[in-house]
A = this chain, B = another copy of it.
């Protein structure tokens, strides 16, 4: 009975079933995120990507794996923006780790396969036929995707708030991702600061330590955590994040330049798997120039990076 009520709520929230190209073009035109349902039914990935099948197909494939003490890759730690420790490992070592965590082990670091370099066409090419690009997306964006990426991890990993200069179709295969979405126009609320960069590096006993990059480098990064209960007065007063639980089989259209924070919940095998398609954003529509204009005004009003 509860399931029926939950289904009704989900159906009521902004979800679009298998859009035509025209319907999707109108969605893109509005520059608003939408959950799309009914378009992953024919993906072999939805049926075939159990851990045992993946072990068979790609277990021995060597991939870049991001490791962090607590799932916090590319995020703010203390005064630094910290990147994960990345090493090349066979996927089986990631699957081993997922299974040990699922059985309750808390030893070792958090692993996340999160390279965003079009890995579906390279390291994961044997899985390529398990996913199908959407005709309506190709038609509306005017070309094939720039990149398709696979993400494999578990509920411990979090992606901190950021944006990408791409139109994004985020396809949930296993587990649930919780997106916190903030429009480009609410940049003012997000406390972007220049932070020195650092990287997690292994020290004794497989532990990771924050090591400032050398030579020193600073990058602008958003310092709010939109999922934390307490935030700055500016964030609380003006920011109205959207929250989306993306279920397996659902696709999130995440418009270019929208800020997003991503958490996840593992499935019954203790894994979370997604595939996303990145399409080039349209630089000839007003969005890009207007975003840069707004950002420049906000930074000027604040007197540059950091607090007023």
Residues of A at the B interface (CB closer than 8 Å) are 20-22, 25-26, 28-32, 139-140, 142, 183-185, 282, 284-287, 289-290, 293-294, 297
With contact pairs A21-B22, A139-B22 given, residues A290 and B185 touching in the complex (Cβ less than 8 Å):
yes
Rounded to whole angstroms, the CA-CA distance of A184 and B290 in the bound complex is 11
Instruction: Provide the residues of chain B in CB contact with A30, threshold 8 Å.
Output: 282, 284-285
Q: In the complex, A289 Cα to B142 Cα: how many Å?
A: 27
Tell me the bound Cα distance from A22 to B20 in angstroms.
9
Which chain B residue lies CB-closest to A136?
Answer: B22
* A286 lies within 8 A of B290 (CB): yes
Q: Could you say which residues of chain B place their CB within 8 Å of the CB of A287?
A: 286
- Closest residue of B by beta carbon distance from A285: B30
Within 8 Å by CB of A26, from B140, B183, B184, lies: B140
Let me know if B29 and A29 touch, CB within 8 A.
yes
CB distance from A249 to the nearest CB of B (A): 25
CB contact between A286 and one of B25, B31, B140 (< 8 Å): that residue: B31
Report how far A183 CA is from B185 CA in the complex, Å.
20
Write the nearest CB–CB distance from A204 to chain B, whole angstroms.
51
Q: What are 9 pairs between A and B in contact, CB < 8 Å?
A: A22-B140, A25-B26, A25-B29, A30-B284, A31-B286, A184-B286, A185-B290, A286-B286, A293-B294
The residue in A22, A28, A282 that gathers the most chain B C-beta atoms within 10 A of its C-beta is A22
**A29 cross-chain contacts in B, Cβ below 8 A:** 25, 28-29, 282, 285
State the CA gap A140–B20 with chains docked (Å): 12
Interface-centre pick from A21, A286, A287, A293 (highest chain B CB count, 10 A)? A286
Closest to A141 in B: B26
A37–B285 CA distance with the chains assembled, in angstroms: 22
- Shortest Cβ distance from A225 into chain B, in angstroms? 25
Query: Hey, which chain B residues are within 8 Å of A282, CB to CB?
Result: 29-30
A22 to B139, CA, bound (A): 8
Distance in Å: Cβ of A72 to nearest Cβ of chain B: 31
List 4 A-B pairs, minimum CB-CB distance, nearest first.
A25-B25, A29-B29, A21-B22, A22-B22
Known: A22-B25, A25-B140, A293-B297. 19 other contacts (CB 8 A): A21-B22, A22-B22, A22-B139, A25-B25, A26-B140, A29-B282, A31-B285, A31-B286, A32-B284, A183-B286, A184-B286, A185-B286, A185-B289, A286-B286, A286-B287, A286-B290, A290-B290, A290-B294, A293-B294
A259 to nearest B CB, angstroms?
14
